[in-house]
Structure 1
Amino acid sequence: MKLSAPIYQLKRRAKLMARNNDVSLNEALDQIARTEGFSKWSLLSASMSSGSLSETILARLEDGDLLLLAGRPGHGKTKLGLRLLIDAARNGRKALMFTLEFTEQQVRKHLRSLEVPGDIADRVQIFTSDQISADYIIQHMSGLEPGTVAVIDYLQLLDQQRSKPMLSEQLQALGKFARGTGVVLGFISQIDRSFEAEGKRLPDIDDVRLPNFVDLGLFSKACFLHNGEAQLQDIV
């Protein structure tokens, strides 16, 4: 069933309803769901989660979320980040990629490999400056509407240059910015190679490679990938 608006806009509508009508958010969400043909919000949400992994993630993201996309090399984290941006652009949301790993030409090539129509692929803005950092990202995203989605490629490179603040400071600044503006920031992240020797099916938050201490509790959601499997979870 096609919704009257993207799910993130329906969530925002429910929050306004709860505030203006002095009802609980859950009650407001259920009211919105009924206008869309579902008896409860949980049923609406479940129906939206039956699509691709990137669509499922996008449906579960809230304004202001910090999302971690983590896996070992070659297990699809970059492709998932690009698909997330494509789905956001297809839903009429602004989509941006900040990459310290690829050139714009390489990113466009990846988009073409995903067989994305040109009119949608061209909506994804790509930034490849060596100056990419928290300040750079905040500068280029200031004034953008809530629900805008950006993917940063990748987490461990943000403080590689000594002239940039420590990663922990940058992440704190970006978290504050996201919560204050309602934009969504996704971070592609490495997983430590020791994970593969531990016999676990999927990595978890303890396997994220960190050269220096970073409070990973600043992230609100994480998706871990390995051998074609993925798990999306809230970070408590």
Structure 2
Amino acid sequence: MKLSAPIFQLKRRAKIMVRNNNVPLHEALDQIAREEGFARWSLLSSQIAAGSLSKTILSRLDDGDLLLVAGRPGHGKTTLGLQLLLDAARNDRKAVFFTLESTEQQARKHIRSLEKDAHGFGDTLEIVTSDEISADYIIHHLSGSKRGTVAVIDYLQILDQQRSKPALSDQVLALGEFARKTGVVFGFISQIDRSFDPESKRLPDIRDIRLPNLVDLGLFTKACFLHNGEAHLQDIA
């Protein structure tokens, strides 16, 4: 959906509404969002942040990449992950969504909301919701996949939630080795730490990744950070 004005101008209008009408900022933002056809501001910002990269992100990924897609809840990281899979499907690539967070029904509903054509590419996406999802499970599932296959994992911080699964650092290392050998592209949806302060910087960065269990972030090759309608893709040195 095309907005009536750039998002920074919409934010400015909301701040003027706060001053003139003495309403909380979140109410003003939600009202602006409704005028733009969204139920609330978080939905508008998540769609716009993800949409700003969705047309180019696949072409900016190389075979074997490990991509972090990170942001606060409601700021578009799952949307961007699913749009990446849709773009892969449109390019006749195998696309798989491994989720420990959503049901298949929830994921399908989200995918349908993102499809802008009637070709039904979303129906070709494979959605895996097994509680057994881990690096070993994913590697076994993708064994024999062609180079350029795209898999998105939802989400990084709960891959080792069950004590029976290997440590997160070991799982990321194993998936990285598998990616380099096979050319499979992995996207990891990731939380950011609550200490991230949008008043001090517009977007989170690699220092804001939430790590309840330590993992070497240098194992990832690229990262995309999203917040409040903005998104930035960068290489990880």
Tell me the TM-score normalised to structure 1 length.
Answer: 0.77
Q: 1:97 corresponds to which residue?
A: 97
Question: In the alignment, does 2:142 pair up with 1:141?
Answer: yes
Counterparts in 2 of 1:49-198, with a 5 A limit? Answer: 52-116=52-116, 117=118, 119-196=120-197
Identity %: 75
Q: 2:229 corresponds to which residue?
A: 228
Give yes or no for contact 2:115–2:122 (8 Å, CA) kept in 1: no
Give the 3-state SS of the residue equivalent to 2:73 in structure 1.
Answer: coil
| Residue type of the alignment partner of 1:226 | H
Map Cα deviations across residues 47-68 of structure 1 (whole Å, 9 max, x no partner): xxxx951231100110100000
Map Cα deviations across residues 71-107 of structure 1 (whole Å, 9 max, x no partner): 0010000000000000000011110000000000000
Counterpart CA distance in 2 for 1:100 and 1:118 is 28
Q: Where has structure 1 moved over 6 Å in runs of 4 or more?
A: none
Unaligned runs of 5+ in 1: 1-50
Counterpart CA distance in 1 for 2:81 and 2:193 is 19
Counterpart CA distance in 2 for 1:52 and 1:64 is 23
Counterpart CA distance in 2 for 1:55 and 1:179 is 25
Q: 1:210 corresponds to which residue?
A: 211
Give the 3-state SS of the residue equivalent to 1:187 in structure 2.
Answer: strand
Counterpart CA distance in 1 for 2:138 and 2:170 is 14
Counterpart CA distance in 2 for 1:207 and 1:135 is 27
Aligned-pair CA distance for 1:193: 1.0
| Residue type of the alignment partner of 2:143 | S
Map Cα deviations across residues 172-195 of structure 1 (whole Å, 9 max, x no partner): 000000000000000000000110
Map Cα deviations across residues 138-181 of structure 1 (whole Å, 9 max, x no partner): 00101000000000000001000000000000000000000000
Map Cα deviations across residues 101-135 of structure 1 (whole Å, 9 max, x no partner): 00000000101111353620111000000000000
Counterpart CA distance in 1 for 2:186 and 2:115 is 24
Counterpart CA distance in 2 for 1:197 and 1:71 is 11
Counterpart CA distance in 2 for 1:196 and 1:140 is 39
Give the 3-state SS of the residue equivalent to 2:218 in structure 1.
Answer: helix
Q: What is the root-mean-square deviation of aligned Cα atoms in Å?
A: 1.3
Map Cα deviations across residues 9-47 of structure 1 (whole Å, 9 max, x no partner): xxxxxxxxxxxxxxxxxxxxxxxxxxxxxxxxxxxxxxx
Counterpart CA distance in 1 for 2:178 and 2:135 is 9
Give the 3-state SS of the residue equivalent to 1:196 in structure 2.
Answer: coil
Q: 1:31 corresponds to which residue?
A: none
Counterpart CA distance in 1 for 2:225 and 2:57 is 12
Counterpart CA distance in 1 for 2:97 and 2:165 is 19
Tell me the TM-score normalised to structure 2 length.
Answer: 0.76
Give the 3-state SS of the residue equivalent to 2:163 in structure 1.
Answer: coil
Map Cα deviations across residues 186-222 of structure 1 (whole Å, 9 max, x no partner): 0000000110266211000000000011000000000
| Residue type of the alignment partner of 2:170 | E
Q: How many residues align?
A: 186
Give the 3-state SS of the residue equivalent to 2:157 in structure 1.
Answer: helix
Q: 2:9 corresponds to which residue?
A: none
Give the 3-state SS of the residue equivalent to 1:122 in structure 2.
Answer: helix
Counterpart CA distance in 2 for 1:197 and 1:66 is 26
Give the 3-state SS of the residue equivalent to 2:176 in structure 1.
Answer: helix
Counterpart CA distance in 2 for 1:186 and 1:94 is 14
Counterpart CA distance in 2 for 1:205 and 1:118 is 37
